[in-house]
Amino acid sequence: MSRSGRIAIVLGLFACAVVLVVFSAMAYVGTEPYTVSYLGAQPSGQPVHLVMQTDGVGGCTSQLNQCVHPTWVSYRIRTPRTHHFLHTSLVELPAHTRIDVTVYQFDSGGPLRNQQWGRVTGTTGTSATLDGRTFKVLNSYKTTIGHTFTVPALGINVPLRGNTTKKKGFCTEGPCNPSTQLHQTITFSFTTPGVGNYHFQCFIPCGAGHYAGNGGPMQTLGYMGGFLEVRA
């Protein structure tokens, strides 16, 4: 084979490698959930109001490959300006800022496997409110728990009371509507630390059909696992 032929083959292989790298990068970016930014949502120094919901069935959306698991439970984050609930679990928050959180909890529930997850920790006043009533612990032997909002690195844990599927207005597919469908409203506050990425997830667990209930949606971005991306 001539020298020019060998060069052509090498260049062709190099071009194929570049195409594969670009394709892989685009595929990775395309499957990562959208990040909802609350940076600048409020004047500097003012509390940020983060709004989320938990859905028993996430439903199928066109947002960045989120139709892969339409029956999985999931969080959704409300955008601060358009107030749309997006099928994602990535949110940007400003550092050293009070975050006032509202969670609309639409899913059903059950007893906890570990009663420690029924205790509120890491929030302002070490408490939360359930439909306007302050609480510090939920006993899952007396009431059902749908999910938790837990940020291990920040010591935050808030149990989210479950709903009964037998009542009228139970939401069967997200996004759910807080104005018309059965839900529990949980509120709490915390202050963000310095810059960093802080993982949060549900610790009920809620990964039905997976080993020890800890797989599937619990460990998947865009569903019950996500990050608080704290920025300067």
Tokens 């479950």 sit on residue: 162
- So where are the chain's domains? 1-31, 36-231
Helices and strands (DSSP H and E) totals, the chain: 1, 13
Q: What is the mean pLDDT of the chain?
A: 83
**pTM of the predicted structure, to 2 decimals:** 0.82
Kindly tell me if the per-residue pLDDT of 131 is higher than 70.
yes
In terms of Cα–Cα distance, which of 173, 169, 190, 146 is closest to 50?
190
Confidence at residue 166, expressed as pLDDT on a 0 to 100 scale? 76
In terms of Cα–Cα distance, which of 76, 120, 122 is closest to 99?
122
Confidence of residue 4 (pLDDT cuts 50, 70, 90): low
13 compared with 180, residue with greater pLDDT? 180
Kindly tell me if the per-residue pLDDT of 113 is higher than 60.
yes
One-letter amino acid identity for 88?
T
Residue 210 DSSP one-character state: S
Mean local confidence (pLDDT), 171-191: 94
User: 36-231 sits in which CATH class?
Assistant: mainly beta
Give 85-98 pLDDT, tens digit per residue.
Answer: 999 999 999 999 99
Six-digit token pair at 30? 């395309």
Distance CA 204, CA 118 (A): 9
Confidence at residue 105, expressed as pLDDT on a 0 to 100 scale? 96
